Structure 1
Amino acid sequence: MSTIRQQIEAVRAEYARLPAGLLAHVERVVAEARDLAARWDLDLDRVELAAWGHDLFRAHPPADQLRLAAEAGLPITETDRLEPVLLHGPIAAVVLRERLGITDDEALAAVRDHTLGAAEMPLIAKVILLADKFEPRKRQRTPVMREIRRLARRDLDAALLCWADWKWVEERTHGWVSHPAHWTARVRWVAEHHADRALPPILPLDDDADPAFGA
């Protein structure tokens, strides 16, 4: 069985045939992810493996992404058909497992869900998604990502929710469709953020529902 470092080198080798700009982006994400992982005491090699794998199919043409997704047996929504680039993470996760022999489920989940997020995400997946969104070039282009980056160093879940809120505003502003998978994840993140399990249920405000509220 290959070591994690050997797996990383095997994935890195795949970028030799991909655009230089994509490689530069992935290198920035790797550095960002390792920095964030160190702050959250995660295994740096596992995080780096996921970071190298996350955009392996990002540069493929839309028709190829739809074809590869179908061949991999992945579910394809109408939103995916409109924006096939959304499939590049799930495709990469399948290829990394089946062709490169990577079996780290959490690293593969990070690759699969780095574009849209998921209702349930291991820490590695949260780190990869956020590192991908606020790597240096994207921070320059979208200054709010600087604030999300600062927040991620204190609270990964709050940073994810802030990113999801920003994404929601962008989608509403431009008339873009929200992907069902992302919307499901966002609803869960909002519910978990606002849940206050330590307090008793809020009393009803209808006078007829509780005598304590009578005239």
Structure 2
Amino acid sequence: MDIPIIQLINVVEKELSQLPIGLQEHIYRTRILSRKIAESHGAETEKCDLGASAHDIARHWTENKLITEARRLGLDITEVENDEPLLLHGPIGAHWLRNKLDCSDLEIVSAVNYHTTGRPEMSQVEKIVFIADKIEPQKIKKYPELGSIMDIVMDDLDGAILRYLALRIRSILANVGVVHPRALETWNWLILKRNSCQ
């Protein structure tokens, strides 16, 4: 039997109360923004809220704990994730949501799984959780260049994600960092999608 989304949100909220206060506050801001974006785009607000609630459930773990748990769960660990284990908090959170909380809605599970990198063929809920995490108010305060994304997100969800990815990929390259292949695949998918509509 499917567990109602509101019931799952209540369970996740109990877990959130155990997280570091700064992380709790980030998740709260992300939830509020995800609901606003969902309303603007006619998406399911409760699905977005659950995805935003659960997205950073393992964000505070140490790199060693993330790697150890990912291996224990049998998750695929890419070379990039092995180098930057923090990227594993999404897949681990998704596994927790699916297997510990019995969330049967794979769209929400996927939103948690891919919220760090995005992925080709993202659903509307996945897109909303992804971008809300990136442009919640405190992040814009810390990185003012993200403000231009907030200017368009309520009208152009794909455009907002493209703008974020452009800024993020440019920053990684400027610092001679490694770009996750899935982020590049997401960029290419959105560009090709946009080009095919012109």
TM-score (norm. length: structure 1): 0.88
Query: Which residue identity lines up with residue 7 of structure 1 in the other structure?
Result: L
Question: Which residue type is aligned with residue 135 of structure 1?
Answer: E
Q: Which has the larger radius of gyration?
A: 1
Matched, 1:133 2:134: yes
| Aligned residue number for residue 67 of structure 1 | 68
| Structure 2: 5+ residue stretches without partners | none
* CA distance, structure 2, for counterparts of residue 98 and residue 168 of structure 1: 33
> Any idea what SS the aligned residue of 1:95 has?
helix
| Deviation of 1:49 (Å) | 0.6
Is 1:185 matched up with 2:186?
Answer: yes
- SS in structure 2 at match of 1:101: coil
In structure 2, the partner of 1:6 is 7
Question: What whole-Å deviation, never above 9, does each CA across 1:89-137 have from its counterpart, x for those lacking one?
Answer: 1111111110011111111111111110001100001001110010000
Which amino acid in 1 is paired with 2:85? P
TM-score (norm 2): 0.95
Structure 1: segments with no counterpart, 5+ residues = 198-215
Per-residue deviation, 1:196: 5.5
Identity of aligned residues (%): 32
Q: Which has the higher contact order (CA 8 A, sep 6+)?
A: 2
Q: Aligned partners of 1:184 and 1:165: how far apart in 2?
A: 13
- Partner SS, residue 17 of structure 1: coil
Q: Distance in 2 between matches of 1:173 and 1:192?
A: 27
CA distance in 2, matches of 1:46, 1:86: 22
Matched, 1:122 2:123: yes
Which shows bigger deviation, 108-117 or 67-76?
A: 67-76
**Superposition map of 1:81-120 within 5 A:** 81-120=82-121
The 2-side partners of 1:118 and 1:152 are apart by 18
Pairs aligned (count): 197
SS state at 1:42 partner: coil
Structure 2 residue 160 is matched with structure 1 residue 168: no
Partner of 1:212: none
What is the Cα-based RMSD across aligned positions, in Å?
A: 1.2
